[in-house]
Structure formats: structure tokens, C-alpha cells
Amino acid sequence: MSRFGGRLREYPQLSIDRFDHDNLRARAYFLSHCHKDHMKGLRAPALRRRLQSSLKVKLYCSPVTKELLLTNSKYEFWENHIVALEVETPTQISLVDETTGEKEDIEVTLLPAGHCPGSVMFLFQGENGTVLYTGDFRLAKGEAARMELLHSGTRVKDIQSVYLDTTFCDPRFYHIPSREECLNGILELVRSWTSLSRYHVVWLNCKAAYGYEYLFINLSEELGIKVHVNRLDMFKNMPEILYHITTDRYTQIHACRHPKDDDYFRGNRLPCGITCQNGTPLHVISIKPSTMWFGERIKKTNVIVRTGESTYRACFSFHSSYSEIKDFLSYICPVNVYPNVLPVGGSEDKVMEILQPLCRSYRRNTEPRYKPLGTLKRACKRNLSDTDEDELFDTEPTFARPKIAKYQGEESKPSKTAQSENAEGNINESTESYRANTTYTSLKVDFVDCEESNDDDDDDDDDKEDDSEKNTAQVLSHEPDANSLASCNGISSKQQESNADIPRWDMFFKCNKVDESSENEDNFPSSADAGGSQSLFSDSDGVSDSTHISSQNSSQSTHISEQGSQGWDSQIDTVLIASQERNAADFGYFSRCGSRTALPSHETPMDGQADNNRWKPLGQNPSCASDVICDLKIEDCDEDAEAGTASAQDLLVEISDSSRTPDLELKRDFQSSSDFEIPLTPEAEIPQRDKLHYLYKKLAAGESIMRKNSPEKR
């Protein structure tokens, strides 16, 4: 939960995500997303009164956030005071003090944050420097490098301070499976269950919060089953969401809620109240999205855990993992960082020990840092003259930091006014004392021991595993065990070969940061962590390893048996879902721009681009409209339903490799970033695996890399 007090040291006239206490005097308000813990004071009478007596004060947010906010009648009074800013469109804002007439201009840019629909980060540029407030965010590794507006020319902007979402800034949360991995796990589970019969339904036990929409959309798109929800009026102007949710209770996927929904579920009743259809009782499983995390060197990354006869937990995270946070911050490399959140169990000290070494003031700048993403993912043809920053040293490699602009000479001492006026600024103040009193040793904290998964009952196993590895070398590989991965996934020997040959950065370059050695992690999804035993499923009873079908077992199929035909203990043996790593290995990268529906929530206004169509047409096949697909699939479902009366054995579904639709196969190969509309760098492409290999070799040989245009590029 955010503990940010609302104000930036550099621009105390602004209030962000806090609207109480001294924030009542702000000249402008900003809301990063529509979660309650970022809306404190937003509907309080005090602020309401202020609005009534002011002509100038505005609330700035993304178009989606505005829409979501105004659909809630409690916030309707904001209507004439909200300004929706388009994402990734720098906007000049005049900050006027209405009592003195004093005026100051600031430029703000909204950047997609990948946290929930409409969620953005705010990049402020003004006379006190460039400051990034991340709000809550989940960005995969390397996504900062793809954000054009974080760059100036070919380099990262010179950012004075980052106010950072540090929810999972603790090595315990080293790795959280990517959005794609989680989505695929849930998709397979839901597919397996719902295809048993039309009376097999799934209840997604989601919390009351925005952020699950992309899950609903993807399930609906893939399975042709709309998701039942309590309300959909907030999405009335977001057809790309609206199309996939419904208030019709007679659907096989539910995300509806009821105050006593757990009791309902125990009685085989959905939160919306239904227990049967056409007189036939429903068979309900629940899937509870929850954050699962894994330590640095964990060998397995199950994204689905069975917690009971018909209950599952599925990995799902709104926030960046520890390694994602570090990747993000080290890419930005600001002068200062301030945590917005204190991770539970973590102290301010610990967080700052982790973050400070990634900041400029504490970073050794004698040693060049190689920034693979900064160069690979961005086109390097730009003329240096189009930058607005000091780029005199154009002979420097592009990973070098830009020079520090003049206003940074003082290391940005927080302004006294900011501190004294900020009643909620306790975090900031203690942070300040940090900088004054503590010397941070760079790099050491990158390699602290990591605890393992949050799986309730297999902690022991994990700990042992972890212990045995505690004192190993610091440079860590997140590359997959290619052989076991390959056999696990049943891929051909040729593919195996190329997989085993995946070039590693640390083979060619001296990496001094763990993040960089695992830079490719998201490109080779959790295969990076795939050791011997990996599947999407596990049971939470501590015998998960033994119940997984071994990675050596190449006969991949997905089974879910009808309950009742066997005890759930034995049933677990039939529960297996092909790990998505195979898909990654089979198809390598796939540009999200190359497929149809695809794009998990590609059209989802997750980043506030509901009104921005520029991504929508990309690669979409008009003859393949999702309407048609959904209709067809619904028909299929109806036919399948006839089989619903057959015996349990007959109902076993087997999703063989070949039975997967091409669409799905393609879709799975998107980078984890594809859930959000993080734009690719203009003219950049996501290299295919073999091509990447080739590029790496050239890089290692010191040759220049020529870029070819990819035909499916947008």
C-alpha cells in the first residue's frame, strides 16, 4: 500500500495520489490509477469545498482513470475539474497560485504503468529537474528501455529523482512469473475445466479492484466464454473490455462477488447465486489470483497451485518483482530514489540499501556498464542533435549516463518547504537522513540470499534448496537448463540444440549486475528458472515435486478429470499443464504486432490508451474479428455440452500440442510485456532467437550489427 505523502521534493506545488492534509493546498492534482489507497481524501468535503472556490485547480489523469473515476457517483463532483491527458503525450501545465497569481510551468508526460486499467507513471519536467513518479507499476525487464519518452535521443533522460513503487523491493520477491506465464497457466486450467462440459464452471476469486481485466479479456478471447461480473457500467465506454464481460450469469467463467462468496462457494454456489443450470448442478472450481514469488535461484516456477479439491491459486501480480524493480531503476539511474511503499517486513534501511547503489550518486562511474537493452532495443540511427540534453560526448558508448544538468549541482537537497509542509512526508524525511548518514556499498546487495516461493507448504523444500546454494558465485545465470527444458517440453532435438545454444550475455561480457545476467529472463520466460522439475501446476501439500510430471516426461498433455471419479489426491497426478516454456522454445519471439486477437489486452486500456487507437489496428486481421471467433466457440461449447453427461473418463480432456490453435501458439510467444501497450521502439524489432544468436556473436566479435527490417513489422 502506498505510503507516499502526495508530494515531490522538487515540485511541492503538486499533489499526486494523495488529497488530504497539506495536499489540500496543491496547485494541481494527479491521480496515477483508480485504486483506493491512491485516492485518499479525493472525495473528502474539504477538497470538495476547495474545488468549488477554485477555477484553476485540476486533477490530471489518464482518460481511462477519468472514466473509471467518474463512473463512481461519489466522485462525480470532479467532473468539471478533471483533465484527461493522453498517455505518452508531453503536456505543458500552468501551475497558478490563485492567491498570489504566481505562475510556473511544468511539463508532464504520462507513461503506461502496467498496473491496472488506466494506470500511469508521471514524468515531470520543469525548472527543478526531471522527476518520475511511478505510482504502482508492473513492468517486465527491459520495458523502461522501450519507453521512448524516458529517452532523449538515444539516451535515458537525466532524471533527478524517482519516486518508486517498492511493494516487492525485497529479495524474497526476486522473481514473479511474467504476466504471460501466469495468464497461460490460468488459461490452461480454465480451458481444461470448462471443456469438460457446459456445467463445469470456474469462479475467479478476484478482489475488488481494477487490474484483472486483461485476464478476463484473454480468457474470453481464447475460450469464447464471457466472464460474469457484478457490474460493467464503468467499462461502458471501453468496448474492448466490455465485449468480454457480461452480467448474464449463465456463462462458464465467473468473476462475480458476494460478501459471503467463500461460503457460497463451499456450498457449490457461485457468488451470483446460481448452483445449477437446466436443472443440472454446476461443477465449480475456484481460482484465486494471488502473488507468488520465487527466490533468486529457484528451480521451479509453478504458476498454478492446487489448494484443495476444487480450489486453486494462480499467480498474478500487479506489482513488479524485486528483479524487475532493480532492472527498472538501474536503467533509469536517477540521482535520487524515494520509496513510495515500505514492503512488509522490510525496513526503510533495507529498501534504501537495495536502491541507492542503483542511483547515480552511489554508482561507480569509472566502470562502464553495458546496457544491452538500451542499445539493442532502440534504434541507434537518431541524430544526436535532436536531443535536448548535453550530448557532447558522442563518442561514449550509448550506455553512458548523460551529463548531469546544471541544476543537479546540489544533489537535489529536498526543499525545506517540501518537508515542513508535508505532513505525510515521514518517508521522505527518513530517506533524507539516509543520504546524510549512510554510506552504501555498491553491488553487494545485489546478491543477498533469497527466500523461495511463497507456497505455504513447500517452504521447507525450498529453503533446503536455497541453503545449499547460498554461498555460490555471485554472477547468476537465469538461463534454462536447456536439456531438461527441452525434454520437458517435448521439443525436437534441433530446437533443443538451438535452445542449448542460447547465447548468454555473461558469456560475452563481464556483467557486474545480476540483472544483466538475467536480462533475457523475460524473453525466455521462466525457462530461465526451469530446472528439473517444472510445470505450471503444483499442489500446495508439500509433495508438489513428486506429483509433477517430471520434466523428463515428454508426453505433454493437459488433463483434468471430473471430480468424484477419484479422490483428489490421485487426481492430481492427472493435473498437468504443459509449461509455456515449450512454446517459447518452439517459436522464439514473436512480435505482438504480428497477430490478431492476440495481444493479450492489447486493446485493453491498461495504460490509459482507450482512446488512442494507434495500436489497435496493428496486425489485426479484419476477417478474424473476435466476435466471430467468440460466436463459433460458444457454439462449440454447446456441442461439447452434450458430452457432459458422459462418464468421467470420457470427459478427460487432452490438450495435445497439436490441438492448440495456431492463434494460441502465436499469442503465447509474445514477450511478457505484450500485455501492456508499451510501444516498441520505433523501427526496432524483436529479434528471432536464431537471429539474436547471430547478433550476439557479431557483438562478441566486435562487429557492427546491421538491422534488417522485419516483414511483419507494423
Partner DNA sequence: GCGATCAGGT
Partner DNA sequence: CACACCTGATCGC
Binding region for DNA (CB under 7 A) = 1, 20, 35-37, 41, 43-45, 115, 136, 167, 172, 205, 207-211, 259, 261-262, 290-291, 293, 318-319, 341, 343-345, 454-456, 459
Q: Which residue has the cell 475539474?
A: 81
The whole-angstrom separation of Cα 524 and Cα 635 is 36
The residue among 189 and 314 lying less far from DNA, judged by its C-beta, is: 314
Least CB distance to DNA at residue 467 (A): 17
CB of 345 to DNA, least distance (A): 6
Nearest to DNA of 345, 662 (CB atom):
345
Residue type, position 263, single letter: D
Closer residue to DNA (CB): 205 or 595: 205
Angle between helix 179-194 and helix 580-587 axes, rounded to 10 deg: 120
Structure-block grid coordinates of residue 221: 478471447
CB of 170 to DNA, least distance (A): 9
In DSSP terms, 82 is beta-bridged to 59
Instruction: Point out which residues pair with 83 in neighbouring strands.
Output: 60
In the complex, least distance from residue 208 CB atom to DNA, rounded to whole angstroms: 4
Q: How far is the CB of 169 from DNA (least distance, A)?
A: 10
Quickly list H helices, 73-212.
179-194
Determine the Cα–Cα distance for residues 449 and 126; give it in Å rounded to an integer. 40
Q: Which is nearer to DNA, 346 or 374 (CB)?
A: 346
Min CB(542)–DNA separation in Å: 12
**Least distance between DNA and beta carbon 407 (Å):** 33
Q: Which is nearer to DNA, 346 or 402 (CB)?
A: 346
Nearest to 592 by CA among 539, 518, 654, 666: 666
Contact 157, 169 (CB under 8 A): no
Is-contact 573 585, C-beta < 8 A? no
Q: Which helix (H) or strand (E) holds 599?
A: helix 599-602
Decide whether 210 or 214 has the Cβ nearer to DNA.
210
The CA R_g of the chain, rounded to the nearest whole Å, is 25
* Least CB distance to DNA at residue 334 (A): 22
What is the widest separation between alpha-carbon atoms in the chain? Answer: 79
CB of 608 to DNA, least distance (A): 16
Residue 154: phi and psi, rounded to 5, are: -95, 0
User: Whole-number minimum distance, CB 439 to DNA, in Å?
Assistant: 28
Q: Residue 182: is it exposed, middle or buried by C-beta count within 10 angstroms (0-12/13-18/19+)?
A: buried
Sign of the C-alpha dihedral, residues 122, 5, 445, 173? negative
Question: Residues near 94 by Cβ (< 8 Å), separated by ≥ 6?
Answer: 103, 104, 105
* C-alpha grid cell, residue 629: 471467433
Closer by beta carbon to DNA, 391 or else 424: 424
606 and 243 Cβ atoms separated by less than 8 Å: no
Query: CA-based angle 479:481:486, to the nearest 5?
Result: 115
Q: In what order do the strands lie in the sheet with 253-254?
A: 245-246, 227-228, 253-254, 200-204, 283-290, 311-315, 304-308, 537-539
Distance in Å, CB of 102 to DNA, minimum: 29
**Residue number, 389 or 455, with CB nearest to DNA:** 455
What does the block give as the cell for 417?
Answer: 518547504
Which residues fall within 8 angstroms of residue 56, CB to CB, at 6 or more apart? 27, 96, 98
Q: How far is the CB of 205 from DNA (least distance, A)?
A: 7
Residue 607 · residue 135 · CB < 8 Å: no
Shortest Cβ 266–DNA spacing (Å): 11
Which set of grid coordinates corresponds to residue 679?
Answer: 510501444
Q: Closest Cα partner for 623 from 599, 593, 596?
A: 596
Nearer to DNA, 76 or 394 (CB): 76
Rounded CA separation 434/355 (Å): 12
Name the residue type at position 543: V
Closer residue to DNA (CB): 166 or 591: 166
E strand map for 97-157:
103-112, 120-126, 129-133, 151-152, 155-156
- For helices 580-587 and 482-489, angle between their N-to-C axes, nearest 10 degrees: 100
Q: Min. distance of Cβ 489 from DNA in angstroms? A: 28
Q: Which is nearer to DNA, 286 or 499 (CB)?
A: 286
